[in-house]
Structure 1
Amino acid sequence: MLGTVETRSVSPVFVGRTDELDTLNDALARAAAAEPQALLLGGEAGVGKTRLVEEFATAAARRAVVAVGGCVEIGADGLPFAPFSTALRALRDAVPEEFAAAAAGQEEELARLLPDLGEAGAGRHDEQGMARLFELTARLLERVAAAHTVVLVLEDLHWADASTRHLLAYLFRTLRAGRLLVLATYRSDDIHRRHPLRPLLAELDRLRTVRRIELARFTREEAGRQLAGILAAEPDPAQADEIYERSDGNAFFIEELAVATYDGNCTGLSDSLRDLLLVRVEALPESAQRVARIVAEGGSTVEYRLIAAVAQLSEDDLIDALRAAVGANILTVTRAGDGYRFRHSLVREAVADDLLPGERSRLNRRCAEALETDPTLVPADARVMRLASYWYHAHDAAKALPAVLAASVVARRRHAYTEQLGLLERAMELWDSAPEEVRAALRPVDYTEVYPPCGCDPVTTPLRYLDLMAEAAVAGRFGGERERALKITKRAVRLLEDEPDPLRAAWFWVQRSRLVQAMARGDGWQELATAQDLVRGLPPSEVHAEVLAVAATWSMQHRPGPEALAAAERAVQYARMVGARETELHALLTLGGLTVEAGDHRTGLEQMRQVLRETREEGLHPVAGRAYVNLPSALRSVGRDREAVPLLREGIDFCRRYGLLDSGAWAWGNLSDALYALGRWEEAAEAAAHATHGDHSAKPRGAGALRLAHLALHRGDLAEAGRQLASARSWYGTHDPRPQQSLPLARITLGIAAAEGRTADTRAALLPALDAGFPPGTHRLAWPLLLAAATAEAGVRTLPAAQPGRAETLDRLSAAARTLTTDVPLWSAYGQWTRAELLRAQGRDTKDTWTPVVTAFECLDRPYDLARVRHRLAGVLLAEGGDAERERAVELLRTAAEVADRLGARPLADAVARLAQRARLTLGPGPRPGPGRDSAPADPAAALGLTSRERDVLGLVAAGRTNRQIAEALFISPKTASVHVSNILSKLGVSGRGEAAAVAHRLELFAAQPLPAETPG
């Protein structure tokens, strides 16, 4: 029996896990049906996660391509994206032709994950660099999974580096196509409150597309079956009970206790977990124990040749030692067959923890020396990272500093910015300990991309501590570790107080501005102003050009006007003088947009087209992505929505191809606006939804939600409009108010309040914008707001409760309208419309007021706006009377009703129907219910459930009558009048007489029948 136990500590019988296997097989069936699946498998160490995955993967391999990758321990020691690199390599080996076709054209970028594809290019390094890589990886998997069912297994997620966690989260959020199953495992008992995996698990729990499986311990019956499998015989019941009690059902502990017990090692066996795990290791020959210690400290897996170089045993002795360790099920051969790893990570941790401090340093030093002597001992893509880890843990600062810096460069090339930051922080930790001659030999060109902004030669000038801080700050910003990056910039600015360097200090202040804005801690202007003060009067430089370009872009977004235009012109000039090409193109794009807003449309649009052409030709994809957002936006600002649509769709494809998530989201939002204007509301809603979903930043999500609120408002769904407005506010935040956010927010807020009859709230939403004024360039946002406010005032012109403050509001609206430009037909039409609504608010509009407005919109490609002004013209034509006027009104209302019906614009459709009913007009076949619209009675009072008497009472309430006055007018008792008022408030869903009156006026329930004059109180 003992011989059997020695070779069968792992049960050949797979025990239990029926429910879990059913879940995995069900997910595989769904994936095979082109429904991507995402699963998380958690359980404590030793509970059997790996065995379950192996059983599932073995069975799945008969009908799918299975690719497995494992994480290495947390920290800056492992190769970033290691599990994905391993899994993608297995996928490529399994289906080489399909993999090559899926990766075609993107090999250079994908080589950051799979170096086998070639040399990863220097590429772009910015906030979107990692997102580009993630998007390309998702597309690669989708394409391969289009032809094959693919099972992607990522083991030991509790050890995942930050980049691996980010990529996994991206895949779980975005994969929507392909026959793909992604399964990730993690050790649940390791996930303490501060574990970096904990936030990811919480985030994934909120995704309905992700399923969690928690693996429980074995029952007593299952433990008995496991023991029987290990022993190849039924265990002694008493012994089995003791083992089960001590193991508490943990599968791995059952194995260890079984071996220890039946090997006769139970005497004096400690209850300590470490002793339990070490008992079989200590029973090995000394040479095998030495090999186990090398493998424990050498990494998650260690190559045979590296073991041989460090162990310094004869080949026969080494083979005997390895055979003993493998035979005892301590070590196992790697999948590739070129090295060894511990069969269970718990044993590896126990062996590593048992090392003495000096012993650990010595082992790491010997690994590093062996690797330096023969770099081929480990795979090329892992060499630099492994060497950095070995020297760091050997506590040799002279060797560790350059090795850690070299590893940081590898992390940067892989877009693993969080790992790069960790390595740079190690370098800063080692800096003072490293000998001066070592530091003097380091050069910025070798280890940093953020070269010293002081005009020094990065090839000949020694690397400085501030250079490391600059590189680390950028790595933190790109990797989303903004708090760490901000702390680094604060330390750098303090250091520069003692070592004045204006250019370098200005550069750090620009980084602080970006970080403050990204972290919602301010608008960043104070930091930018400090940077401008620092460079003022200095000769032109790249830093000077960048400061001016960033300031110009900030001004375009916050304070557009002549000063912003001048700053953009200076930025272009300085960038050209110093050869900062990318800064030049960014500044030129800003300049083009500001030029359009200043009225020189032709010049500005051509400048922006030039930037788009040149950035595409030169491969400057982030600037091109921004151009695909700003150029269509400028076209829309001059009323050329139809021209903007194909450009936006082209831009969306471009942004998806190069992983420009934020630019893509902004493009979706702009597309929604253009489609709305063109009367393609269903497509507009889909585009806005794209902007709200995805793995991009908050502000484009807020813009998408605001567009959905706008659509819901004009479709009459006030509840949905309110929800989307609240969502937009939460995404935007309050730290960085910009006209492009605050003015549309005010417009939707005002519109909802007006639709609900809340006049005071309507004005409260308007007044802050009027108080702030409308800087040049904000007319495209200001005109819709002023129009909405004027329309709301016209809608309550006869409401007594609306009179206080009304005259002042109308005066301020008129004054604001006079300050806005009308330099293109679109805004000229909006100006005429706004002035017409202001006249309507005063009861002074006529057909001569509205006819030129209709004519203006008939020349534009905006069907909904045209339908609205046609409805207004029809109203005044009917009021003025005459057969010709009635015939013209019928035609206007019929076309307006058709548009409202097609768009599902319920408020407009109801207004057209009410006007036609009051004038006793027949418009032909009644409008069919549109999207989000129920079939409603033509009479709005009946639609609200009001009786004829209640309608009379509501008319008097709207006129401001008291219950006693209502009773006298209708010859009823005051008590009966009170009952009618209560019923009306209930049916209208309002809380007071003022709100009821507002509803009556908004729905124009009494426009056709003048109310009796109010009796003095």
Structure 2
Amino acid sequence: MASDVDLAPLVGRADHLATLRSALLDGVGPGQTAAVFVTGESGVGKTRLLREAGDRFRAGGALVLTGTCLDIGDSSPLHPLLQALRRFDAELTASHARTSSAVRGLLQMFAAETAGPDGAGALLERVSRGLHLVAQGRPLVLVLDDLQWVDRSTRQLLLYLLAGLGDLQLSVLAAVRAESLQGAHPLRRVLTELRRLRSVRVVDLAPLDRAGTEQLSAAVLGGPLGAEAAESLWQRSGGNPFVVEELARDLREGRDGLSETLREVFLARVDALPQAAHAVVHAVAAGVEPVAHWLLAEVTRLPEGELIEAVRAAVAHRLLVGDDDGYRLRHRLVAEVLAHELLPAERSALHRRYAEALTMAPAELHQARLAHHWRLAGEPARALPAAVAAAQEAERLHGYAEAHRHWSVALQLAGPPAAGVAPADGGLTPDRAELLRHAAEAAHHCGEHARALSLLEELADAEDAPPACALHIRRARYLAAAGRSAPAEAEYRRALAAADCTSRERATAAAHLAELLLHLGRYADAGERAREALELAAEVEGSVSEVVLASMALGFSEAYLEDPDAGLAVMREALDTAERAGRPEDVACAYLHLAELLTGPLNILEEGVVVARRGAERVAELGLGRTYETRLLAIATNGLFRVGQWAEAEKVVAAALRHRPSGADAVELLLARCRLWVGYGDIEAADRDLEAVATVLAGGGARHVIPLLTLRAGLAMWQGRHDLARQAVQRGLTEVRSDDVGILAALVWHGLRAEAEAHAARASVDTTAVRRLREVAERVARKSEHAARPVRDVVGGFLALCEAEVSRLDGSDPQLWARSVTEWDRRHHPYPAAYSRLRQAEALLARRTRTATAGKLLREAYQVAQGLGAEPLSTEIRTLATRARVTLEERGASAEGRSVAGAELSGDELAMLTAREREVLAAVAEGLTNKEIGQRLFISERTIGVHVSHIFDKLQVRTRVQASAIFLRNRPE
């Protein structure tokens, strides 16, 4: 049943429809994502535009799922997606049995979802996999209206899918009421970040202009307005299509002049309704839309025939619209007007009827909606158990933000301690202290740390509050999560001093305090507290978690205090302890920290990679593949990249990404893979990963922003876009606060390198940026003096690069570049060492001195770059060598001679190829195309092209046939 508003033409939006099709269908290929967010004032036509676009997308062969976010604060997690799936399922016919089965399977998954070791991230992946089955290869368009009311879980799902982690050809079209995005609205920050991405567009839907207003009004009236009436309508409507239609219809119906206000228009229309229709409109206004037909019948208590006639009258008067899932007011402006027309007693009576009807229909029961109606009916005792049930339902779906809201509502319903509300049905509802505990924990999980601490303070004052020691430990945990390290430390110390602290609680407090001190860089204090925790844990049976945590802190402490062997011994003993106890999380934690110790402060990269990969296999056996295994593989990937085993790193990250990780795990892996793409020179793949990371980070995760911006700067420099590189670095220094001297040093190097590259290209140099970068470099140097020796060593390498880059601005100093070569060679990091050799050679050639040394440096750098597959670096080395007339191979050997000599020495013409290049060549010899090879090896077609170019260059061939012949001649029997 539809209102005659649907018969009015869509005026002035043809360009917008074309834009939506281009952005969301035509420009989105398999496995790609895109989004358009339509913003605008109420009544400007966002919903109508979404409906029209959705119809056109369906006609174009896309699968369109349409949902609406609820306008009440206690909606359930992922409500709009569930609504869209139910709508779609209702539309399917018997000929769509496979699709219907996929839809119902996804709905059943929601109903059965329970918290597991992989948490909310696993839920996102399962939803994505279910949508993939529903889509069956078709483009999927998710249309969401009223996104300003979106729940946090749906927001996270959108970011996950838009980042390309769901492996769907997905487009999102959403409408947002502009006036709702004020102040600290969470969606405002997300949209601000998403605007930066090329795959995302934000379309601001403006009111109609004068011509459009007259065209729409003429269509409603059946003819043009007179000049005076047209002027009045234009002035009063401001081009808002909804208001234009309403006022034009009043004129068509013979009203004398225009109403003084739109409110009067609506009230006059309501007053003109039959009595039954009047009741229907007010009932829908009090409900949570959409209001199902059966529910409206229960609330209005009208006979079926009379109810249908009343609904028809409300639709005819343009106050109500109907869909398969229920009735809605034509626009929220109608609800705002009608809200003031009911007496308080009338509103309470309507909400009571809704609650009673929902209670009598358990199959349709929605706890959040039930709590909403009982609360507004003035029945807190009945609302309380429903609010508790809604909170528990939200936690089951990992919707901690929604759970926090429901627990908060439950606390309001319970009232102050002296006036606590007993459940009306005699059910078992948690007491106020229990409600406070749940609310505080939910607030902590969803990042509302201040609220969690406030609730904890109230819990401490409750009559049946937990013991003081338990409160101190929980408060310390919340403070640490909020970044308030000093008060968190004080709370842990109070817990240890509390008289009621048990031995287990003391061990827990001491272990967590040791970890906190470690993060604060107080390694001696961390070690001392870790020893205390281990002594306490030894007295408590089953305290494996405390032992592992304390051992991690002690191991790091000892390693930072110049005793690596002692630190490693403690960590390995902790791993043995965890393995003997068999608790999966403890085993995983031990492997994770041991790998971090080796690849981080100790810089024992090869062994760290081995431990990370061994640990990944072990935790996969323990059922923690999607979380801890991916974290360990991310550590392994970064270690392999740093030691120059790029082809192997590519394999590892591809294996990890098959788990479809989300959140921080996904970001770590995407950044690791992007480092490879930037090094290889695969600009398209690198850019795609950076877009994905930026999409995920739109929902939070500031600690990854600097690595993201550093990679963006590096990619921009290989493209010759020094301006973009400069912007990325300056954004990192301005918008993100970080105490990590290592990542700051890398960012500063990229900034100074960008200015040096601009100078070399005879572009403008930003002297202000150079001065600021040098100041930051000095600050990093001062801060690193207090860090451990391994950290100082890595920072020292970057600072050497920084100093050498600065010299390029007024005559590159070969001595500074020689120092950088030494620094990175000593750490066995081949890529920055090769880059430094290139710059040292460049400086020597510029001074026309020691050209033989310069030639040797270029050959050494080229050999490393070719072995890595670092095409941009190889290209720059070749360019400089050509300009300086330096041969990059051994003097006196032709290309053919080199090939033969190499074969004679090694017995293998393929000896110069990396492991990944051998895999690619083997596939080439099978006759596979680049696309087919990419599918086999789980890497992009463009990257395969880069590998093939490297193979041709190294084998000195020009065709795939020649390369295949060499492979077949040298392959093992």
TM bin (shorter chain): 0.5 to 0.7
Aligned ranges 1:574-613 → 2 under 5 Å: 577-578=542-543, 581=583, 584-585=586-587, 587-589=589-591, 591-593=593-595, 596=598, 609-610=614-615, 613=618
Match of 1:155 among 120, 145, 164: 145
Q: Map 1:458-537 to 2 at 5 A.
A: 463-465=431-433, 467-482=434-449, 484-485=451-452, 487-488=454-455, 501-515=468-482, 517=483, 524-535=485-496
Distance 1:675 1:198, change over 3 A: closer
Q: In the TM superposition, what whole-angstrom CA distance separates every residue of 1:604-635 from its partner, at most 9, and x where no partner exists?
A: 96598447623663347433443333455677
Amino acid at match of 1:369: E
Q: Please tell me the root mean square deviation across aligned C-alpha atoms, in Å.
A: 5.8
The one of 289, 292, 295 equivalent to 1:303 is 292
1:214 to 200, 205, 216: 205
Corresponding residue number in structure 1 for 2:652: 647
Matched residue type, 1:410 = E
Query: Aligned partners of 1:770, 1:418: CA distance in 2, in Å?
Result: 41
1:357 correspondence with 2:357: no
Whole-angstrom CA distance in 2 between matches of 1:560 and 1:910 = 48
Quick check: 1:743–1:782 contact (8 Å CA) kept in 2? no
Q: Measure the CA separation in 2 of the matches of 1:252 and 1:746.
A: 53
Q: 1:628 aligns with which of 633, 638, 641?
A: 633
TM-score between both structures, scaled by the size of structure 1: 0.65
User: Match for residue 74 of structure 1?
Assistant: 71
Three-state SS of the structure 2 residue aligned to 1:274 is helix
CA separation in 1, counterparts of 2:458 and 2:634?
A: 36
Structure 2 equivalent of residue 703 of structure 1: 707
From 14, 19, 36, the equivalent of 2:15 is 19
**TM value normalised by structure 2:** 0.68
How many angstroms apart in 1 are the aligned matches of 2:724 and 2:226?
65
Of 342, 353, 371, the match for 1:388: 371
Tell which deviates more after alignment, 592-601 or 905-914: 905-914
SS at structure 1 position matched to 2:391 = helix
CA contact (8 A) 1:560 1:775 kept: no
Instruction: Report deviation, 1:357.
Output: 1.3
Q: Given that residues 47 and 216 in structure 1 are in contact (C-alpha distance below 8 angstroms), is that contact kept between their aligned partners in structure 2?
A: yes
Alignment-derived partner of residue 380 in structure 2: 397
Q: Aligned in 2, Cα 1:71/1:610: closer, same or farther, shift over 3 Å? A: same
Asked if structure 2 preserves the Cα contact closer than 8 Å seen for 1:31 and 1:180, the reply is: no
2:792 is aligned with 1:782: yes
CA distance, structure 2, for counterparts of residue 220 and residue 788 of structure 1: 62
Long gaps (5+) in structure 1: 1-5, 448-461, 804-809, 814-829, 839-852, 928-1017
Q: Which one-letter code corresponds to 2:703 in the other structure?
A: K
The residue that corresponds to 1:992 in the other structure is none
- Number of matched pairs: 822
Name the SS of the counterpart of 2:143 in structure 1: strand
- The letter for the 2-side match of 1:508 is R
Looking at structure 1, the residues matched to 881 and 689 of structure 2 have their Cα atoms a distance apart, in angstroms, of 30
Using a 3 Å threshold, how does the CA distance of structure 1 residues 786 and 504 change in structure 2: closer, same or farther? same
Deviation at 1:403, TM superposition (A): 1.7
Q: What does residue range 536-935 of structure 1 map to in structure 2 within 5 Å?
A: 547=509, 550-554=512-516, 557-559=519-521, 564=526, 577-578=542-543, 581=583, 584-585=586-587, 587-589=589-591, 591-593=593-595, 596=598, 609-610=614-615, 613-614=618-619, 617-619=622-624, 621-630=626-635, 646-654=651-659, 657-659=660-662, 661-670=663-672, 689=690, 693-696=694-697, 697-706=701-710, 724-730=728-734, 732-734=736-738, 737-738=739-740, 740-741=742-743, 744=746, 765=777, 769=781, 773=785, 779=790, 781-787=791-797, 862=830, 865=833, 894-899=859-864, 904-905=872-873, 909=877
Alpha-carbon distance change, 375 to 349 in structure 1, aligned in 2, over 3 angstroms: farther
Q: CA deviation at 1:387?
A: 0.4
Task: Call closer, same or farther: CA 1:595–1:430 in 2, change over 3 Å.
Answer: same
User: What's the CA shift string for 1:272-321, capped at 9, x where partnerless?
Assistant: 32231122222223233223222211221212222222333444444443
Contact 1:540 1:577 in 2 (8 A): no
* d(CA) in 1 for partners of 2:806, 2:78: 62
Shift of 1:354: 1.1
| Cα pair 1:365 1:391 within 8 Å, conserved | yes
| Secondary structure in 2 matching 1:353 | coil
Distance 1:648 1:528, change over 3 A: farther
Mapped partners of 2:161, 2:681: distance in 1: 30
Letter in 2 for 1:733: R
Q: Which one of 267, 272, 276 corresponds to residue 283 of structure 1?
A: 272
Assess if the C-alpha contact under 8 Å between 1:297 and 1:360 holds in 2: yes
- Work out the CA distance in 2 between the residues paired with 1:242 and 1:791: 68
Does residue 367 in structure 1 map to residue 354 in structure 2? yes
1:392 shift after superposition? 1.5
User: In 2, Cα distance between the equivalents of 1:918 and 1:636?
Assistant: 29
- Partner of 2:7, secondary structure, is coil
Question: Is the contact between residue 28 and residue 34 of structure 2 (CA under 8 Å) also seen in structure 1?
Answer: no
Provide the residue aligned with 2:550 in structure 1: none
Unaligned runs of 5+ in 2: 546-582, 760-766, 896-973
- For 2:215 and 2:842, the matched residues in 1 are separated by 87
When Rg is computed on C-alpha atoms for both structures, the one with the higher figure is 1
Tell me if the contact between 1:64 and 1:150 (Cα under 8 Å) persists in the aligned partners: no
- Alpha-carbon separation, structure 2, partners of 1:861 and 1:151: 46
Distance 2:29 2:721 in 1: 37
Shift of 1:733: 0.9
Alpha-carbon shift at residue 365 of structure 1 (Å): 1.6
Residues 32-73 of structure 1 show CA distances to partners (whole Å, capped at 9, x for unaligned) of: 766755333344444444444444444443223453534354
Equivalent residue for 2:915? none
Identity of aligned residues (%): 26
- In 1, Cα distance between the equivalents of 2:412 and 2:728? 48
Q: From the superposition, tell whether residues 924 and 653 of structure 1 become closer, same or farther in structure 2 (CA, over 3 Å).
A: farther
Q: Which amino acid counterpart does residue 514 of structure 1 have in structure 2?
A: A
Cα separation, partners in 2 of 1:577 and 1:674, compared to 1, 3 Å: farther
Q: CA deviation at 1:173?
A: 6.1
Deviation for aligned residue 1:77? 3.4
CA contact (8 A) 1:629 1:666 kept: yes
Is 1:408 the counterpart of 2:391 in the alignment? yes
User: Residue 166 of structure 1: CA displacement?
Assistant: 5.2
Task: Judge which range, 667-676 or 699-708, deviates more.
Answer: 667-676
Correspondence 1:334 to 2:323: yes
- The 5 Å alignment of 1:935-950 reads none
8 Å Cα contact 1:41/1:49 also seen in 2: yes
| Aligned-partner SS, 1:41 | strand
Letter in 1 for 2:830: R
Does the C-alpha gap of structure 1 residues 713 and 135 become closer, same or farther in structure 2, counting only changes over 3 Å? same
1:161·1:419 contact (CA, 8 Å) conserved in 2?
Answer: yes
- Relative distance call for 1:555 and 1:729 in structure 2 (3 A) is farther
2:26 corresponds to 1:30? yes
